[in-house]
Structure 1
Amino acid sequence: MTDTATALSTLYVYGITHAGVRAPGTPGVGGAPVRLVTESGLCAAVSDPPEQVRARRRDLTAHQAVLDELAAQSPVLPMRFAVVSPGADTLRAQLRADRDRLSAQLETVRGCVEMNVKGSVVSGYFAELVRRDEKLRALAHQTRRRPDYEANVRLGEALARGVRREARHAAHEVLARLTPLAVRTAQGPLDDDLVLSASFLLNAADEERFRQVVAAQARAFGDRLALSVTGPLPCYSFVEAHPAPAGR
């Protein structure tokens, strides 16, 4: 395989895979051609970076498309958007030094995809909540009898807490159903509205079954939890590839 990267130029890095793959024909970030830097049985897909790396939709899409083309050939350790290496010599040295660790990680994601599931609070889950919660029924009745600003605020806050509580319970149930389907899981950040955020490392053959289970859970809990699923994705959440610590 011919390595066309120059030793002195800064390189935008897409991901790492086994040597022997074809260089992606898909244009990279900024429309730049993608090439391969090869060392010690591994290679990194790279291109010349644009003058400014910005998270524009077309560049995010290009980054993803390069990874997809690589993943169709071999397991890939994907880099996050905007990882830059000082140059090909630095990149080769790091591939050489980290060969064993990177090769082992490539094996852990072989035949796998990442699926991301998010669940958000459904704010309209009031009537059923009041019907089932005696304290909320009493508070709602009291507010109707003596409506004033403070009473309305107390009722609104109690309802919001109850809705979030129900959504979190539903998220826990969904996570319990999905986790056994995955090889590994990784939790994402949560907030008051986003009560479920998790990535799942799946055998690629299990993707359709996983989607079916997510759809079933969406039907079961849709009145209190809005579910979305994204994927298949490169296995960002399940690799620790750091090919360019001297870059940015």
Structure 2
Amino acid sequence: MALYVYAITAEDHPLDLDEQSGVGSEPAPVRVVASGPLCAVVSDISEKIRAKRRDLLIHQEVQERLMRGGPVLPLQFGYTAADEPTIEKVLLKGADGYLANLERLGGCAEYHVRASQDEEELLRQILSETPEARELNERIRAGDPDPQLPLTLGQLVAAQVQERQEALASGLVEALVPFAREHTVRQASGADFLNFSLLVPDDRREEFRAAESSLAGQIGDGIEIRLSGPLPPYSFVE
């Protein structure tokens, strides 16, 4: 029978999984496949697993329970294996790398930081603080017929938005990275101008959260910082 794989742990992990059911329309108990110094946490499945809300929550719940007992290498949602021998071979072949990763991630959790900015507030700031933009805007509002004015203003505003948000993002990263063992910055999307993840040691968790809270209170009008965590260290598994 096929197996859904949640995570990899060391063989001495406490594996507190009592009464934990797995993903799928007919949930099977979560169990362990051991191979040498490693274990894979799995459950039996008889269907193709899709990203339904219940299954996403179960996937996360299993990994969070494992995190409470020690380091874990979380797999992304949807990873399956054909059978136990397949998993055993993978664990044996990659044992050195998996063990090194477990040691590196021990005593840490992942946190996501995202930041966005209210577009109207940002535009007001640019028009108020940038003389050239303010002048162009006033000419347009006064009825100046020059057809190039809107394009010139739009280009100027776009450049200002990029410059200001890059500076904000850089400042936030610089302020929070000292609390992390590792970090990774991703391409922001949608309304966000910042999207990055940090691997924060447990003994610095409170300092980190206090620093993030302080930044959120100081950063200014129209800017929202969103913090998620502690999470399994998806972004730092090599």
Distance in structure 2 (CA, Å) of the matches to 1:217 and 1:140: 32
With normalisation by structure 2, the TM-score equals 0.89
- 1:114–1:199 Cα contact (<8 Å) kept: yes
Measured on the aligned residues, the alpha-carbon RMSD in Å equals 2.0
1:76 to 72, 78, 88: 72
1:141 to 130, 138, 141: 138
- 2:2–2:46 Cα contact (<8 Å) kept: no
* CA shift digits 1:8-49 (9 cap, x unpaired): x21100000011433513222123210000011210000112
Is 1:13–2:11 an aligned residue pair? Answer: no
Distance in structure 2 (CA, Å) of the matches to 1:48 and 1:23: 18
Unaligned runs of 5+ in 2: none
- 2:28–2:43 Cα contact (<8 Å) kept: yes
Is 1:66–2:58 an aligned residue pair? Answer: no
Is 1:26–2:20 an aligned residue pair? Answer: yes
- 2:109–2:231 Cα contact (<8 Å) kept: yes
Comparing 203-212 with 97-106, greater Cα deviation is found at 203-212
1:223 to partner: Cα distance: 2.5
Aligned length, in residue pairs: 232
Structure 1 runs (4+) deviating above 3 angstroms are 147-161
Query: Which letter does structure 2 place at the counterpart of 1:14?
Result: Y
Is 1:102–2:95 an aligned residue pair? Answer: no
Would the alpha carbon gap of residues 222 and 64 (structure 1) be closer, same or farther in structure 2, given more than 3 Å must change? farther
With normalisation by structure 1, the TM-score equals 0.86
Q: 1:190-209 to 2 correspondence within 5 Å?
A: 190-191=188-189, 193-209=191-207
Distance in structure 2 (CA, Å) of the matches to 1:226 and 1:59: 30
Q: 2:34 — aligned with what?
A: 38
Q: 1:71-220 to 2 correspondence within 5 Å?
A: 71-124=67-120, 125-146=122-143, 151-152=149-150, 154-156=152-154, 158-191=156-189, 193-220=191-218
1:97 to partner: Cα distance: 1.6
